[in-house]
Amino acid sequence: MSMTNVTLYAYHAHQCDPKKCTAKKLARFGIIRLCNTIKKLPSGAILLDPTAERAFSPADEEKAQKGLIVLDCSWEEVERVFSLLHKKRMRHRALPFLLAANPVNYGRPFKLSGAEALAAALYILGQREQAEQILAKFKWGLGFLELNRAPLEDYSRAKDSKEVIEIQGRYM
């Protein structure tokens, strides 16, 4: 796919350990824009939301040009914070089955860090270089791609959300 780099955002809820916060680290490198209020998030962008009904797929490429957003909060607060974000006009998409490589949740399905979630979405869109640029900032980062190479390749070849869900069934 021939898209330019996707603009990346994180809604930062100030709930995580600043030393382990992948969004803050990416912001220090100028890779992601941190937003402290919902108002600052772009309308029409895609929010990577594990509670969303629709799976993220290559069909989201055009919408992703408005931006990809991750929520940077504690996993214990996810549902509460995502419900606040439903008020803003964004497209909510869930990432398909992938394993975390971050040290906090290594090997756990769906428990991705913000950096892993953004990299996975970019990879699915065919933006492999941008995905690798994000992950290279973490000692464990490129291990995420190694751990999930086969499903990421398969998801990136799907035509839509429905096909991503079918593929996901083979990995669960």
pTM: predicted TM-score of the whole model, two decimal places = 0.90
The CA distance from 171 to 5, in Å, is 29
Residue 2 CB contacts under 8 Å (≥ 6 apart), including other chains: none
What pLDDT, on the 0 to 100 scale, is given for residue 37? 80
> Mean per-residue pLDDT for 158-168?
97
- Beta bridge partners of residue 71, listed in sequence order: 11
Average pLDDT of the chain?
Answer: 88
Who has greater pLDDT, 23 or 169?
Answer: 169
> Mean per-residue pLDDT for 38-67?
92
What pLDDT, on the 0 to 100 scale, is given for residue 1? 41
The CA distance from 161 to 27, in Å, is 30
Sheet arrangement for strand 8-12: 33-35, 8-12, 68-72, 46-48, 91-93
Question: How does pLDDT run across 71-128, given as a tens digit for each residue?
Answer: 876 556 556 666 666 656 789 999 999 999 999 899 999 999 999 999 999 999 999 9
